[in-house]
Amino acid sequence: MNPAAWQSLEERMRELADLWRTSALLSWDQQTMMPPRGAEGRARATATLRVISHQRLVAPELGELLEEAAGDSLDPSRAAMVRVLRRERDQAVRLPDEFVRRLALASSRGQAVWQAARRDRDWESFRPCVEEMVELKREQADMLGHDGERYDALLDLYEPGMRTERVERVFAELASDLAVLIQAIADAPPLPEPPFAGSTFPDALQWDVTIRMLADIGFDFDAGRQDRSAHPFTTTIALHDIRLTTRIDESDPFSAFCSTLHEAGHGLYDQGFDPDYEDTPIAQAPSLGLHESQSRLWENLVGRSRPFWCRYTPVMHEVFGDAMRGAGPEEVYRQVNRVTPSLIRVEADEVTYNMHILVRFELELALLRGELAPADLPGAWNDAYRRRLGVTSPHVGDGVLQDVHWSTGAFGYFPTYTIGNLYSAILWRQIRQDLADVEGQVEAGEFEPLLGWLRERIHRPGYLHEGEDLIRQVTGSGLDHQPFMAYLWAKYGDLYDVRRSA
């Protein structure tokens, strides 16, 4: 491939990056800033941008450049750029423009309908959106191609190379092991209520603490920001413009702190790609599971650890004064790790969290397989929650309507949350080997060694390798639920004084 051809390919990559990032801004703004009546115009603008991105991606000239490049012997990063973009293009060419527009409109409008439906606890107003979306996603899966399992085609959009059958197998083992731990904890005496139960933690002060934590762990505010949104998320507007959101509950500051740490994990990843890869297809995570491993690592392995609260309990005393009276690090540590089967996924503890994912995975798999009608979803949801967690939502708002994902058509996305949890434990095991004193460093507020380890091994490479290959290179282990279960038993065994039976 001559230099001019490569340059032309690079220009197309940059143009695609600009378009994708502009779409990201449209979406960020929709969730944080947009006034309500802007929704319809936004749906159309979003669809137009998506169609144009799609047209540029499927352009025959790009296909030819990629074919030519693929035939060359390229250095590893260029080879990866070509591999990743070819993969994305191969998927895109199977979808007509018109379908891309329909899907984008349904997604943007579905999100607006869902917001109102959730607020009003009104399943019936949202049902037609789910019906339309399930049809669209089945159609999309058929266009993308699969060997009988439509879910494979959708899962692959978020977790390249992962198969439904493997997820089912790993999740089944995990569910069975988790059930034992959950039962053991349920049978143990509950943790005592903390001294600050019932206290109020003013919104503005909580906000300041989240900003301080972000700065402490290394989030670059010259290259990012934090805002508020109903559902916290992270998005990439540009390599040096990474946006997090959080939400604040005045009765529970740990909700905002954990949410901020979670999104910070995503944000640190996105700020950490090799700058040489900027605006290329490898300046991204190879899988959402790997992305989630970073958010969960900071949220849970760091942010719900004893050393972390040895560091930050004094900060809370300094900021919140009387509200914290009588609470030491141990009280806070216990509070942020209280295990309670509950209704809301994003508020769930580390132990029960994956049960929320299993419920969603099984339901969306059944929807895609045609074994469950959208109309029967609320009942199936309640059944699954009863079975997995022994709880029932008093209304659909905290039940089947609690997540945004299905409204936007993100079927196949949920499993990546659990994959991320499993990866985070595998990485943490390795980190503790490589950085023997990581816990002492966290307690001293020295986060650079940990961030440096992640930067070098996980962040900088971007999509140079497939997600599981990278985990394997770094830790010697692929997707596996056992390190995660070992982590849980060690931590919660201690907290609840329970032991794994032989």
Catalytic residues: 263
Rg (CA), the chain: 23
Least distance in Å: CB of 284 to a copy of itself?
14
Structure tokens at 443: 């307690």
Long-range contacts (CB closer than 8 Å, 24 or more residues apart) made by 183-190: 184/496, 184/498, 184/499, 185/339, 185/351, 185/492, 185/496, 185/498, 186/341, 187/498, 188/496, 188/497, 188/498, 189/496
Closest Cα partner for 406 from 147, 140, 106, 199?
Answer: 106
Q: Does 228 bind a copy of itself (CB under 8 A)?
A: no
Residue type, 69: A
Among 13, 85, 104, 239, contact with a copy of itself (rule: CB under 8 A): 239
Q: Which of 9, 13, 31, 49 binds a copy of itself (CB under 8 A)?
A: 49
Strand partners, 246: 228
Extract the tokens encoding 356.
């929320």
Whichever of 23 and 477 has its CB closer to a copy of itself, that residue is: 23
52 vs 435, beta carbon nearer a copy of itself: 52
User: Which residues, numbered 421-480, are part of the site for a copy of itself (CB under 8 A)?
Assistant: none
Kindly state the number of chain residues that form the binding site for a copy of itself, as judged by CB under 8 A.
38
Distance CA(244)–CA(258), nearest Å, equals 13
- Asked if 60 is part of the footprint of a copy of itself (rule: CB under 8 A), the reply reads no
With beta carbons less than 8 A apart as the criterion, state whether 339 and 492 touch: yes
The residue range among 77-85, 141-149, 218-226, 303-311 that interacts with a copy of itself, by the rule CB under 8 A, is 218-226
Closest CA to 265 of 240, 298, 236: 298
Task: Tell me whether residue 52 or residue 157 sits nearer to a copy of itself (CB atom).
Answer: 52
Residue whose entry in the numeric block shows the structure tokens 């943490």? 428
Calpha distance 16→14 (Å, rounded): 5
Tell me: does residue 223 bind a copy of itself (CB under 8 A).
yes
- In angstroms, rounded to a whole number, what is the distance separating the alpha carbons of residues 320 and 395? 34
- Binding status of residue 395 toward a copy of itself by CB under 8 A: no
Structural contact between residues 208 and 335, judged by C-beta atoms closer than 8 angstroms: no
Could you say whether residue 41 binds a copy of itself (CB under 8 A)? yes
Site for a copy of itself in 67-126 (CB under 8 A): none
CB of 214 to a copy of itself, least distance (A): 12
Q: Which of 222, 326, 501, 502 binds a copy of itself (CB under 8 A)?
A: 222
- Establish if 48 lies at the interface with a copy of itself (CB under 8 A): yes
Closer Cβ to a copy of itself, 127 or 240, answer by number: 240
Q: Residue 40 interacts with a copy of itself (CB under 8 A)? A: yes
Please tell me the distance from the alpha carbon of residue 108 to that of residue 105, in angstroms, as a whole number: 5
Q: Which of 5, 157, 237, 451 binds a copy of itself (CB under 8 A)?
A: 237
Residue pair 248/207 in contact by the 8 Å Cβ criterion = yes
Within 9-38, which residues bind a copy of itself (CB under 8 A)? Answer: 14-15, 18-19, 21-22, 25-26, 29, 33-38
Burial class of 355 by CB neighbour count within 10 A (0 to 12, 13 to 18, 19+): buried
How far the first Cα of the chain sits from its last, in Å, is 60
Separation of alpha carbons 331 and 344, rounded Å:
23
Please identify which residue in 1, 5, 45, 59 interacts with a copy of itself, judged by CB under 8 A. Answer: 45
Q: Minimal distance in Å, beta carbon 75 to a copy of itself?
A: 24
User: H/E element holding 127?
Assistant: helix 123-144
Asked if residue 241 binds a copy of itself (CB under 8 A), the reply is yes
Q: How far is the CB of 351 from a copy of itself (least distance, A)?
A: 37
Q: Per CB under 8 A, which region of 216-224, 248-256, 393-401, 453-461 contacts a copy of itself?
A: 216-224
User: For residues 294-313, which are near a copy of itself according to CB under 8 A?
Assistant: none
Closest CB to a copy of itself among residues 62, 170 = 62
Nearer to a copy of itself, 1 or 52 (CB): 52
How far apart are CB 32 and a copy of itself at their closest, in Å? Answer: 9
* Of residues 103 and 343, the one with the C-beta less far from a copy of itself: 103
- Indicate the residue among 5 and 237 with the shorter CB distance to a copy of itself: 237
Stretch that binds a copy of itself, among 166-174, 238-246, 415-423, 443-451 (CB under 8 A): 238-246
Pull the structure tokens for residue 431.
């980190």
Distance CA 169, CA 121 (A): 34
What strands lie across the sheet with 224-228, from one edge to the other? 224-228, 241-246, 234-238
Q: Quick check: 211 binds a copy of itself (CB under 8 A)?
A: no
Provide the binding-site residues for a copy of itself, judged by CB under 8 A.
14-15, 18-19, 21-22, 25-26, 29, 33-38, 40-42, 44-45, 47-49, 52, 220-225, 227, 237-241, 278-279
